Structure 1
Amino acid sequence: MMPIGDDNTGRTLTPYVNYLLIALNIFVFVYYQRFGTNIDFLLSYAAVPGELLTGADIVGTNGLGPSPAPVYTTIFTSMFMHGSIAHIFGNMLYLAIFGDNIENALGHFRYLVFYLLCGVLASLAHVLMSAVLGDGLLVPSLGASGAISGVLGAYLVLFPRNRIRIWVLLFTFRVPAIITLGIWIVMQIVSQVNMIGGREQSGVAYAAHIGGFLAGMLLVRLFIKKQEVSRGF
């Protein structure tokens, strides 16, 4: 099941910030990451839970390279990095579909702050889960998924009845956002539980997805424009 579009009839703002975020992610992936082949860049600028917990740069272990100082800046640099073409394509597709509606509801500047804040909280959720489980502390994490998860959480709160066009095999359907995004977050939770139980191994930071989604749901009301009439629950 893959979303391919949504209802934009209520949008009044041109989503300049959303376009900028998509362009910046693509630029970093193409120019700095060289389509994912620049491993040295990844090992230096991705977020490493062990570094974020201690505040100390770790070099050499697991091939990790020198990080920018302070190491906490990798929370932001990792937010604009991706591991593969499929990774960035999926993330940018979700951002393009759902981000414009949230920018329209929040306004340009507040949307940017909201997006970055959700990304930070998502990264911290991943770090916390790594610390609790004692697993993956030296494994670099990267991607816009956490911040985009915040956008999805906000979308669920503000536009639960919006129809999302989804593609399943050779067919397309229009499904309410509450169902589409509800299924998505349940899948993230189930996958995280399976990882905790040792039944599933994955390179996906599900805790970041869950943390970002919850952050988006909880914070969006604080960022929404006062004149905006919400179509929420």
Structure 2
Amino acid sequence: MFPIRDHNPSERVPYVTYALIVLNVGVYLIGLVLYQTDQALNQLYFDYAMIPLLLSQGENYSSLVTSIFLHAGIMHLAGNMLFLWIFGDNLEDKMGHVPFLAFYLLCGVGASLAQFATEPLSPVPTVGASGAIAGVMGGYLLLFPKARVDVFLFFVVFFRIFPIPAWIMLGLWFALQLFNGFNTDVSGGGVAYWAHAGGFVIGAIAALPLWLRLGGTAFWERTDGHPDHPEARYGRSSVPRVRRR
């Protein structure tokens, strides 16, 4: 089960969201061209990924930022960019372009530090934008808890797209990160669950001043928990139905 779109795309062009997607994709493509051997790839991760052991030794603090723009594979990149595209635009619309960029980087650094705190002596590199995007999701949940999100559900031969409130989808996602974080060996899971959970909490906290400035619960009452502009209308497929004789 994963989201494919929300029902409230922003009315203003989300330049920063688009730029972050382009930057992440560009860095990944450059990596494919310039780092084609295992040795070169290991050097890339050593220089730019967040390696807890190096941080514990007082080295490579810049990796808290650079690691946000590295990805371990095409599906890792695609999943992260999908979530950023769905949830980033409305948050950028409310925050403004520059504050949203600062918010994104803050969540990414905070998520990396949350992962570092769980395994400060680990030599395993951590890469990916998911911690920063988790922060975007936490901020989205605070501001727009009832926004409708279309979710694609696939189970063996059954699949369906249906809308659910953001608080259900994001709440389940956050609960899953906590569950996996507590039940997965931090050194062997392959996924930085605590970076996800930490980024989500940091994003919700960092968005709190904006929520209060907008009116807090009065903002929810005024907008019914949705972005304060009309929903997009997604019609049914225009492909005609053909009856069998």
> What band does the TM-score fall into relative to the shorter chain?
0.7 to 0.9
Preserved CA contact (<8 Å) 1:105 1:224: no
Q: Match of 1:29?
A: 28
CA contact (8 A) 1:36 1:85 kept: no
Aligned to 2:46: 43
Judge conservation of contact 2:142–2:211 (CA < 8 Å) in 1.
Answer: no
C-alpha distance after superposition, 1:101-131 (max 9, x if no partner): 1101111010000000000100000000113
Please report how far the alpha carbon of residue 42 of structure 1 lies from its aligned counterpart in structure 2 after TM superposition. Answer: 2.4
Note the residue ranges of structure 1 that are not aligned, 5 or more in a row: 57-70
- Give 5+ residue unaligned stretches, structure 2: 227-245
Please report the TM-score for the alignment, with normalisation by the length of structure 2.
Answer: 0.80
CA distance in 2, matches of 1:99, 1:225: 20
Secondary structure of the structure 1 residue equivalent to 2:184:
helix
Aligned residues: 212
Matched letter for residue 4 of structure 1 = I
- 1:114/1:223 contact within 8 Å kept: no
Moved more, 37-46 or 164-173: 37-46
Q: 2:57 aligns with which of 42, 54, 61?
A: 54
Among residues 184, 189, 198, which one is paired with 1:211 in the alignment?
Answer: 198
Q: Partners in 2 of 1:191 and 1:160 — Cα distance?
A: 24
When Rg is computed on C-alpha atoms for both structures, the one with the higher figure is 2
Q: 2:89 aligns with which of 87, 97, 100?
A: 100
For residue 220 of structure 1, give the secondary structure of its aligned residue in structure 2.
helix
Native 8 Å contact 1:36 1:83 kept in 2: no
Letter in 2 for 1:206: Y
Instruction: Give the corresponding residue for 2:153.
Output: 168
- Does the 8 Å contact 2:143/2:211 carry over to 1? no
Give the aligned CA root-mean-square deviation in angstroms. Answer: 2.3
Residue 36 of structure 1: how far off its partner (Å): 7.7
